[in-house]
Amino acid sequence: MTDQLPKPRIFISHASNDSWVARQLEAHIRGCGADTFLDCEHIEHGDDFEDTIINAVGDCTELLVLFTPTARDRKYVWLEIGMFLGARKRIVTALYGVRKEEIASDQLTPVALKRIDSVELNEIDSYLSQVQRRVADWRSRNA
């Protein structure tokens, strides 16, 4: 019996003001062959928001945080980071309008976030290449 890897499914965390950029990230990630969860695309009116988020965290293999000045102040972004930390799943932050140095020097930013791998949004192609490789690995192991 082969070791079954789950298909990469990436939860995209963002502030609602950044939904357009989050949708662009989702399109690129799907272009790499991975599945996604994006609240503005996958939660319908009348759905229990918190329950859907919790279930999505369980179903997703990793978290991509669109970390902007607006997202920095959003409680749900921090909750989602905490859930993925607790689940010991991969977390990557895509920085947009926030510099790594700001995060490192901000005393209110949890140490765990300071240790998370970050990529500037203008350099997101390196992350997308890694996603594409994980999808290829999944396909080869599950063929």
**pLDDT per position as a tens digit, 49-84:** 788 899 999 999 999 999 999 998 899 999 999 999
**pLDDT per position as a tens digit, 80-101:** 999 999 999 999 999 999 887 7
pTM metric for this prediction: 0.89
CATH number 1.25.40.10 given to 9-137: no
pLDDT of residue 117: 78
User: How many helices (H) does the chain have, and how many strands (E)?
Assistant: 8, 5
Percent of the chain with pLDDT over 90: 67
pLDDT of residue 1: 42
Q: Are 10 and 64 in contact (CB under 8 A)?
A: yes
Q: Are 11 and 66 in contact (CB under 8 A)?
A: no
65/38 Cα distance (integer angstroms): 11
Which amino acid type is present at position 122? N
pLDDT of residue 105: 73
